[in-house]
């Protein structure tokens, strides 16, 4: 089976590497020459645990190659996957499909009969039909199938998620598309991963519904955490209690500074727009989007409150700026709202992040960067934990406290025990928890 993967980003590169590890022959295409140059030198342009070894092994075995030349890769392929970005469109919050349709135009002249074109990118319902319409207009002579195969991997555990998925979802209306997609994923059936075949529309919508549901779960527990603070309950106890109910489940019940990342914000926004257009508004999802944005702003105010009402003239040491641990991805990270807000109120920001700095430096001006958390904390008035990297979990709190000139610790991921923090001399505030344990 020969695969052409268009887009060598977080999804394309991981999917391409995993498919090649299944034994398929994969050519990964990208427009970004810098990215291609790195890949062809054996370097990985993104941080994803285990990806460097996986790529190196399959390059050495001759099963994966990287190229900027789309025609040849498409001509040879049984399946072309589109794994290009679908960011939020400026102005209306809808998914921007420019990269998807550009790729379709580029590949159209080179398809041969029997080829399957599959969207791995997250695309609004109806996009498969539109791709088919455009391809038919460009190549009325060609016989092809258009499928939807939304990707559910998470950055930070992407390889494990791809190779041990809860399900593989394939939307296609054509018999041939279905046969080829079943063959591509056959190696996963050895691990009993269910491949679910549904209509193209169902697959496209299911991806948005899944992400919006998860965003809603996070937003729900964030609001419950705020309530806990007012009524003397502890959100971790509440989350454990409700999560034990099989109908609810324990995952995605950790409160924090609001969801971020490359998917949830844009997918929630796109689903809300799609639903409005379809005259079936998802008002609950619209509310999730609003509450989450307000939360990021409220988190800045929370730091001010913890600092005695103002951060003017204060130095804040920030541990973690990426939207979650084990990734270098800064897209829509809460830090991008919270840190500029604190700076605008007169704070000086020092920060450290195990992988985020290269991307974050361009997005967060006037931040002083450190490799070592203790150095970042040197002379700071406030310590702010924004991302729960393992590297920050077992820091010596006494050492941190004595490096600082102030004693405020705002732990937005509930990484530290309030009691240990207080014992180390901190004035501690977490999210939705009492200060006693
Ligand atoms: P990304 O920005 O990391 O990667 C996209 C890549 O596509 C870039 O390298 C870009 O240069 C390349 N590209 C764009 N147009 C091209 C073209 N015409 N030809 C060749 N290359 C082209 O994006 P990503 O995070 O990998 O996301 C891709 C899609 O997958 C999005 O729709 C996203 O919503 C979805 N998704 C992402 C994740 C995630 O965790 N990042 C998870 C599931 C689904």
Q: pLDDT grade, residue 271 (50/70/90)?
A: very high
Domain positions in the chain are 2-198, 208-277, 295-429
Tokens representing residue 148 in the block:
């939807």
Q: What is the pLDDT of residue 90?
A: 84
Q: How far is the CA of 243 from the centre of ligand 1 (A)?
A: 33
The preferred substitution site among 83, 124, 158 for testing ligand 1, maximizing ligand atoms within 8 Å of CB, is 83
DSSP 153-215: --TTSHHHHHHS-S-EEEE-S-HHHHHHHHHHTHHHHTTTPPEEEE-HHHHHHHHHHHHHHHH
Q: Which residue's CA is minimally distant from atom 18 of ligand 1?
A: 103
Q: What average pLDDT score do residues 4-32 get?
A: 98
Q: What average pLDDT score do residues 378-395 get?
A: 97
Closest by Cα among 96, 95, 76, 89 to 29: 76
Ligand 1 atom at shortest distance from the alpha carbon of 12: 26
Q: Which residues contact 352 (CB under 8 A, 6 or more apart)?
A: 317, 318, 319, 320, 369, 370, 371, 372, 373, 375, 376
pTM assigned to the model = 0.96
- pLDDT over 60 (residue 302): yes
Interface ipTM? 0.99
The preferred substitution site among 109, 156, 262, 328 for testing ligand 1, maximizing ligand atoms within 8 Å of CB, is 262
- pLDDT over 80 (residue 435): no
Q: How far is the CA of 245 from the centre of ligand 1 (A)?
A: 36
Q: pLDDT grade, residue 176 (50/70/90)?
A: confident
Q: What is the pLDDT of residue 92?
A: 87
Q: What is the pLDDT of residue 335?
A: 98
Whole-Å CA distances, 118 to 203, 234, 360: 12, 46, 32
CATH superfamily for domain 2-198? NAD(P)-binding Rossmann-like Domain (3.40.50.720)
pLDDT digits (tens, 9 = 90+) for 338-365: 999 999 999 999 999 999 999 999 999 9
Whole-Å CA distances, 46 to 35, 36, 43, 208: 9, 12, 9, 24
Q: How far is the CA of 10 from the centre of ligand 1 (A)?
A: 6
Q: pLDDT grade, residue 434 (50/70/90)?
A: low
**Cα Dmax for the chain:** 75
- Ligand 1 neighbours, Cβ below 6 Å, are 6-12, 29-32, 35, 83-86, 99, 102-103, 106, 121-122, 151, 153, 155, 262-263
**CATH no. of 208-277:** 1.10.1040.10
Topology classification of domain 295-429: Rossmann fold (3.40.50)
Q: Are the folds of 208-277 and 295-429 the same?
A: no
Lowest-confidence region among 15-29, 171-185, 213-227? 171-185
> Whole-angstrom Cα distance, residue 225 to residue 237?
10
Q: Which residues contact 82 (CB under 8 A, 6 or more apart)?
A: 6, 7, 100, 103, 104, 117, 118, 119, 120, 121
| Sheet with strand 64-67: strands edge to edge | 64-67, 25-29, 2-6, 79-82, 115-119, 144-148, 168-171, 195-198
Q: What is the pLDDT of residue 175?
A: 83
Ligand 1 atom at shortest distance from the alpha carbon of 267: 34
Mean pLDDT of the chain: 96
Q: What is the pLDDT of residue 326?
A: 95
- pLDDT over 70 (residue 377): yes
By percentage, how much of the chain surpasses pLDDT 70?
99
Cite the annotated binding site for substrate by residue number: 152-155, 207, 252-256, 260, 324
Q: What is the pLDDT of residue 268?
A: 97
Are the CB atoms for 316 and 344 separated by under 8 Å?
no
Cite the annotated binding site by residue number: 30, 35, 86, 122, 152-155, 207, 252-256, 260, 266, 324, 331
Q: Which residues are catalytic?
A: 263
Whole-Å CA distances, 184 to 16, 19, 23: 12, 8, 10
Q: pLDDT grade, residue 437 (50/70/90)?
A: very low
Cite the annotated binding site for NAD(+) by residue number: 30, 35, 86, 122, 155, 266, 331
Q: What is the pLDDT of residue 159?
A: 98
- pLDDT over 90 (residue 436): no
pLDDT digits (tens, 9 = 90+) for 75-106: 999 999 999 999 998 888 899 999 999 999 99
> Whole-angstrom Cα distance, residue 13 to residue 292?
30
Q: Which residue's CA is minimally distant from atom 37 of ligand 1?
A: 11
pLDDT digits (tens, 9 = 90+) for 393-419: 999 999 999 999 999 999 999 999 999
């Amino acid at each position: 089976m020969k695969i052409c993967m268009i887009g060598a980003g977080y999804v394309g590169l991981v999917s391409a590497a995993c498919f090649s590890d299944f034994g398929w022959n994969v050519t990964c295409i990208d427009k970004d020459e810098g990215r291609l140059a790195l890949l062809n030198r054996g370097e990985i342009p993104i941080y994803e645990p285990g990806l460097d070894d996986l790529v190196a092994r399959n390059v050495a075995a001759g099963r994966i190659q990287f190229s900027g030349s789309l025609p040849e890769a498409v001509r040879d392929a049984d399946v072309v996957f589109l794994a290009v970005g679908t960011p939020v469109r400026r102005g209306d919050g809808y998914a921007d499909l420019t990269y998807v349709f550009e790729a379709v135009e580029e590949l159209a002249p080179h398809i041969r009969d029997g080829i399957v074109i599959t969207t791995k990118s997250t695309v609004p319902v109806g996009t498969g039909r539109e791709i088919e319409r455009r391809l038919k207009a460009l190549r009325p002579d060609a016989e092809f199938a258009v499928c939807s195969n939304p990707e559910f991997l998470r950055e930070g555990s992407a390889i494990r998620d791809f190779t041990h998925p809860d399900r593989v979802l394939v939307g296609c209306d054509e018999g041939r598309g279905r046969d080829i997609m079943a063959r591509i994923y056959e190696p996963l059936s050895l691990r009993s991963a269910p491949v679910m075949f549904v209509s193209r529309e169902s697959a496209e919508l299911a991806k948005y519904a899944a992400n919006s549901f998860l965003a809603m779960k996070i937003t729900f527990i964030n609001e419950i955490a705020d309530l806990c603070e007012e009524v003397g309950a502890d959100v971790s106890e509440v989350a454990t209690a409700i999560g034990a109910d099989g109908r609810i489940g324990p995952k995605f019940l950790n409160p924090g500074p609001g969801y971020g990342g490359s998917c949830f914000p844009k997918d929630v926004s796109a689903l809300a727009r799609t639903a409005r257009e379809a005259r079936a508004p998802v008002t609950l999802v619209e509310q999730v989007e609003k509450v989450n944005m307000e939360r990021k702003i409220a988190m800045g105010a929370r730091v001010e409150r913890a600092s005695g009402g103002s951060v003017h003239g204060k130095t804040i040491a920030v541990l973690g700026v990426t939207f979650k641990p084990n990734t270098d991805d800064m897209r829509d990270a809460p830090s991008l709202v919270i840190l500029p807000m604190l700076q605008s109120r007169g704070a000086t920001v020092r920060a450290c992040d195990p992988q985020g700095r290269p991307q974050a430096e361009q997005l967060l001006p006037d931040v002083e960067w450190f490799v070592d958390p203790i150095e970042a904390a040197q002379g700071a008035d406030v310590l702010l934990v924004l991302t729960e990297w393992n590297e920050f979990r077992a820091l010596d709190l006494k050492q941190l406290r004595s490096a600082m000139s102030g004693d405020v610790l705002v732990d937005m991921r509930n990484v530290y025990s309030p009691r240990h923090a207080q014992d180390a001399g901190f004035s501690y505030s977490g999210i939705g928890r009492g200060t006693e344990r």
